[in-house]
Homo-oligomer: A and B are copies of this chain.
Amino acid sequence: MDERSAFSDDATGMESDIHALSPERVRDVLEALDRQDGGEVRNLIAPLHTEDLAELINGLSPDERERLIEAIKFNFDDEVLPFLDPETADAVMEQLGTRRSAQAIAEMELDDALHILEDLDTEDQQEILKTIDPATRKELEAGLSYPEESAGRLMRRSMVFVPEFWTVGDAIDYLRRHPKLPEDFYVLYVINPQFRPVGILPLSTLMRHPRSARITDLMQKDLHCFTTTTDQEEVAYVFRKYGLVEAPVLGEEGRLVGTITVDDAVEVMREELEEDFLRSSGLTGQDLSRTVLASVKTRFPWLFVNVLTAMMAAAVIDLFDETIEHLVVLAVLMPIIASMGGNAGIQASTVTVRAIAMRRVDVRGAWRSVWKEVLIGGLNGLGIAAITGTGIYMIYGNPQIAMVFALAMILVMVMAGLAGAGLPMLMRRLGIDPAITSGVFLTMLTDIVGFLSFLGLATLLVVR
C-alpha cells in the first residue's frame, strides 16, 4: 500500500514529489550512515522539505539520529526543530550545543520557540534563555508565563492590524510599505483606539473591493476570540467547528495581543485526539518516539495498577473456590463473561469519551447518555445471553448452568453500559480527563460484577 503513489500518478503525467520522504530515500540514508559517508548523507537530505527531514529524524533510533546530526551539523536547518518530537528536539539541541540552539530559538516564531522551550527542563531552559538577547528573552519569558496548553502558548505576536477608519486602499498601501509583515497571514484585524478588535477582514474580501471601500463596511463583526488562558483543546474545537483560518487572542482589558493560525490549531487537534486515543490504554503521545527503556518506564505503572485491579477481581473468584471445586465448568465459562463485559464496557466508554469531546453530551445531557448505553448493553446482553445460553445447554446438557450463565451475561452487559458511560461522565464532572477511565477501572468493575454474578448465582442456584 504505497500511500505516496498519489503524488506520482503516471496517467496524469505528473512528476513525483522529489522533496518527499520515499522509502527508497530512507533506505539510502540509512545505508550512507552505515558507510559513514557524510557527503552522501548531505546529498540525500538536501532536497527534502523541512517537514520531511523532521519526519526522518523523528523515526530514527537515537544512535542513527546522532550520526545523522553529526553528518549534517554544519548545514543543519534550524527550521526543522519545531517539527521534531519534544524528546528528539531536546537530544538534537544538546548535540548542536547551547549557543547554536539559543540562536535557533531566538530566530523562530514565538509559538515555535515556546513549543520547544516548554519541554526542556528548567536548567536547560534557563541556560538557553541566558544566551538570548534581552528583548527576545523578555518576550519568551512572557510567553512561558501563560499556562501550558493555553492559547497564550500557541499564539504568534506578529499580526496585521488596521484602524477602523481606513479604506481598502489605505490597507493595501500599508501592506506594501510595511517591511516586517508575518510570513503567512490570512486576515487583517480591525482595531479600535483601545486596541480591541472590532472586526476581522479576510484578505479575499479585501482583494475583491475597490480602493475606496471602507473597511468597517466590509469587515466581519462576528468574531471568535480567545483569551491568553483559553485551553488549547477549546482553541482546536472552535477552529474545527467554525472552519476558521486565523483567530485573535485577547489579553488584559480585551486588547489584541496575538493571533493563532489554523496550522497550529490543526496540530493541537491531532495531539488532543491522539492523546484521548492513547490515554485510554495508559499511554502518552511520547510513546511513539521513546526508546525501549523509556517506554517500559512509562507503561509499567499503568500495568502495575492493572495487576492490582486484576487481583481484586481474582479475590472475588477466591470467595467461590469451593463452588468451582464442585463444578469446574464454571472456571471454564467465567472468562467468557468477563471478556464480554470488558469489551462491551470499552465500546460504551469509547463512544462516551468521543461524545464528550464532540460536546454531544452538552445537548443530550449526562443522564440520557448513560441511560442510552445501559439500554444498549441490556439489549445486546439479552441477545448474546440467548445464543450462548442455548449453546451451553446443548454442550453441557445442564439447564441450570445455562440459565445462570445467561443471567450473569445480561447483568455484566448492563453493568458495562452503566460503568462504560457513567465513569467518563463522573470524571468529566470532577474535571478529570474522561479518556483515562476506559481502561483499568472499567474492566475491574465489569470483571468483578461478572465473576460475582456468575459464581454467586451458580453457588445459590446450582451447587446447593
Contact = CB atoms under 8 A, between A and B. Distances in A.
Interface string A42-71: 000000010100011011110000000000
Q: Which 3 pairs, one residue from A and one from B, show the smallest C-beta to C-beta distance?
A: A59-B363, A243-B263, A331-B331
Interface in A14-47: 14, 17, 19, 21, 23, 26
B331 A277 contact: no
A176 B210 contact: yes
27 contacts: A1-B428, A1-B429, A7-B225, A12-B227, A55-B363, A58-B360, A58-B363, A59-B363, A176-B207, A184-B202, A185-B204, A266-B266, A269-B269, A273-B277, A277-B277, A277-B350, A283-B351, A288-B358, A295-B372, A296-B383, A309-B339, A311-B336, A317-B331, A335-B338, A335-B447, A339-B447, A343-B440
A209 interface: yes
A243 B431 CA distance: 32
A229 B354 CA distance: 30
Interface string A303-327: 1101101110110011001001100
Determine chain A's interface SS by DSSP, over half rule. Answer: helix
Given A202-B184, A363-B55, A306 B229 contact: no
B273 A245 contact: no
Interface stretch (A99-107, A119-127, A134-142, A246-254): A246-254
A189 interface: no
Contacts of A262: 245, 262, 266
B3 A354 contact: no
A333 B314 CA distance: 6
A386 to B, nearest CB: 11
Interface string A417-460: 00000000000110100000001100100010001000000000
A185 to B, nearest CB: 5
Contact of A11 (B60, B225, B252): B252
A362 interface: yes
Interface of A: 1, 3, 6-7, 9, 11-14, 17, 19, 21, 23, 26, 49, 51, 55-56, 58-61, 172, 175-176, 178, 181-186, 202-204, 206-210, 222, 224-227, 229-231, 234, 237, 239-245, 250-254, 262-263, 266-267, 269-270, 273-274, 276-278, 280-283, 287-289, 292-293, 295-296, 299-300, 302-304, 306-307, 309-311, 313-314, 317-318, 321, 324-325, 328-336, 338-340, 342-344, 346-347, 350-351, 354-355, 358-360, 362-364, 368, 372, 375-376, 379-380, 383-384, 387-388, 428-429, 431, 439-440, 443, 447, 451
Contact of A270 (B234, B269, B311, B346): B269
B328 A321 contact: yes
A318 B331 CA distance: 9
B387 A304 contact: yes
